[in-house]
Amino acid sequence: MSMRAPQDASTLPILTIADGRADVVLNRPREHNRLEPDDLTALIEMFERIDADASVRVMVLTGKGQSFSSGFHIGALSDRKEGKRDYDPNAFERMVDHLVERRESGADVFMVQHIQAHDVAARLVERGREIYGREPEFVSEIGPVIGAHVGPGLFGVTGLPSSILGPM
């Protein structure tokens, strides 16, 4: 009697780091790599680990199976709207802390991106001015492709050395 090997179980994203490259693989192939709230938490932790690793020069984000990602779990968005799901109430301060950490490690420019979060973006710009003593390199709203997957309210920042930007 032969037994079939079980199909790969859906799990949180997978991170591997080797030879200056970080690979992040979305790992819910049966659901076309649909993003669950726990995936977002895991991705944030992975991105922080990648950011802290000076050996990483490039990050590749892929999806296991036939699809990159079918987007965020819509049911979880309705839970969020109804207040059923806890989200990081310290997200704004975490972004500010990130700007400070990047500045202390040599970054001299910063950028802000968001999805329909103009008020938060404006507050991040103000804090970035205080930290960097200059205007942001750019502030932009993330495009509709990612916006359709993630939904409104997303915001993020980064700081980096201007030497890697080249002419803009």
Q: pLDDT over 90 for what percent of the chain?
A: 38
Whether residues 96 and 80 fall in one domain? no
Which residue range(s) make up the domain with 158? 88-168
For residue 30, give the CATH number of its domain: 3.90.226.10
Q: Is residue 2, in this structure, part of any structural domain at all?
A: no
- Answer yes or no: is 30 within a domain: yes
Task: Give the pLDDT band (50/70/90) at residue 160.
Answer: confident
Confidence of residue 6 (pLDDT cuts 50, 70, 90): very low
Of the CA atoms within 13 Å of residue 116, those in its CB half-sphere come to: 8
Q: Are residues 46 and 82 in the same domain?
A: yes
Asked whether residue 76 falls in the same domain as residue 40, the answer is: yes
Sign, Cα dihedral of 23, 37, 155, 158: negative
- Residues in contact with 109: Cβ distance below 8 Å, sequence separation at least 6, in sequence order: 132, 134, 136, 137, 159, 160, 161, 162, 165
pLDDT tens profile 113-129:
988 888 989 999 999 99
**pLDDT digit string, tens, across residues 37-88:** 888 888 988 988 998 899 998 999 999 998 888 877 766 655 555 544 445 6
Confidence of residue 149 (pLDDT cuts 50, 70, 90): low
Per the structure, the count of domains in the chain is 2
Whether residues 133 and 118 share a domain: the answer is yes
Q: What is the largest CA-CA distance in the chain?
A: 71
Residue ending a domain, among 86, 119, 149, is 86
